[in-house]
Amino acid sequence: MHPDVTFVLERVQLLVTDDFYETDRRSLLHAYIACLSLPDLCTAISASLDAPIRVRLALRRRLLRVLADESDDVGPVVKLVESTAVASDRARNLRRAADALHSEVFAYLPPNSQQMLLERWVDRGGRGAMARWIKAVKAHQIHFSAPIALSYWRASGDFRAAQALAYQAPSEFLRAIIPELVARCDEGWIIAKAMRRCGDTTTEVWEDLRQRHPATYLYICAHMGRIVSDEEALELVHRCKAGVVDNERGLAIWAIGQMRKVAVLDRIVDVFEVLKQRD
C-alpha cells in the first residue's frame, strides 16, 4: 500500500532545511519522497507548485529519476502537465514553477503533449517562455519552426533565437535571411555558423559583413577559401578590437594564420605596440 500523499508532504515540509550539515534531515526528506509511486509523486508535485523551492526541486528530481528508469507509463506525467498548466493559467504566481516542471519533463512526454507545451510558450511569447521553446526544439529538432524563431528574433533581438536559426534552420531559409542576420545580429559567431551552413551569398552581403564584422569576415573567408589580399587582411586587423571577453583581433589574427599569410603576421608584429596603445 502506498503511503498517503498528504502524510508524506507534511513530513517533507518539516524536514526542509538550509543547513548544509543537516545531512540526516536531507536524507530523510528524500527517503520519504522515494516512498511515493509515480502516480502519487505526480499528485504530490501538482499539490506543491507553491511549496518552498527545496521541496519542489526534491520532488522534481525524484520524478526525473523515476522517468529515466521506467518511462513506459507516462500517463500520470501527462495528467500532471495538464493539471499544472491549468493551475498556472488560473494563478500566474504558479507559472514559473509550472514552466520549470514542464521544461524538465518535456523529453518524456508524447508528441501531442510536447506540441501543447510548445504552443503555450509561443502564445505567451515572452523571453522566459521562448527560452523554454528554444531549449525544447534544440533537443527535439522535429518540432523546430524556422518562421517562429525568426518572428521572435525580429520582435525581441534575442540572440538565442538567432542562434537557433543559424544552427537549425534549413539552408534555403538561412540563405534568404542572411542579409538580415548580418545587418542586425551582433554575435559574429552566429553569423559565421549561418554563413557556413548556407554557403556563398551575394556580393552585397559580403561587403556588409566586411564592414560590420571584420573579424568574422576574415574567419569565414579562411574557412570557405575566399581570397583576401594582404593589404585587405592587414586593414581589417587594424579595425578589430582586442579584449578579454570579445577578442575580435585575436580571431582575425587566427584567420590570417589559417590563410598562411606569414608576411601579414610579420607586419602585425611590427605594429603590435601601436595596436595595444590604441586599445
CB 141 within 8 A of CB 168: yes
**Cα separation, 260 vs 262, whole angstroms:** 6
Q: Are residues 229 and 137 in the same domain?
A: no
Neighbour tally for 125: CB within 10 Å: 14
Residue 86, in any domain of the structure: yes
For residue 275, the model assigns a pLDDT of: 75
Q: Do 103 and 134 belong together in one domain?
A: no
Domain-ending residue, one of 107, 122, 144: 107
Q: Do residues 34 and 126 share a domain?
A: no
Query: Dihedral sign, CA of 68, 99, 148, 210?
Result: negative
pLDDT at 1: 40
Amino acid at 240: C
Examine the domain organization and report whether 16 and 35 are in the same domain. yes
What H or E segment, with its residue span, contains residue 264? helix 262-270
On whether both 31 and 126 belong to a single domain, the answer is: no
End-of-domain residue from the set 87, 107, 127: 107
* Predicted local distance difference test score (pLDDT) of residue 2: 55
For residue 245, is it within any domain?
A: yes
Indicate if 14 and 74 belong to the same structural domain. yes
Q: Is 1 in the same domain as 43?
A: yes
Instruction: Let me know whether 118 and 165 are in one domain.
Output: yes
Q: Within a domain: residue 208? A: no
- 28 within domain boundaries: yes
Q: Do both 120 and 181 map to the same domain?
A: yes
Record the pTM.
0.87
User: Do 10 and 77 have their domain in common?
Assistant: yes
Residue 205 lies in a domain: no
Domain boundary pick from 107, 124, 148: 107
Tell me the backbone φ, ψ of residue 111, rounded to 5 degrees: -55, -40
Say what the pLDDT of residue 233 is: 96
Coil vs helix vs strand at 152: helix
pLDDT the model gives residue 160: 97
Q: Is residue 193, in this structure, part of any structural domain at all?
A: yes
H/E segment holding residue 99: helix 95-105
Sole residue written with cell 518539516? 14
- Give me the number of domains the chain comprises: 3
Among 233, 239, 252, which Cα is nearest to 212's? 239
In terms of residue numbers, what domain contains 6? 1-107
Averaged pLDDT in 10-residue chunks for the chain of 279 residues: 78 80 85 93 94 93 92 89 95 94 96 97 95 97 97 97 97 94 95 90 93 96 94 94 78 95 92 75
Same domain, 129 and 82: no
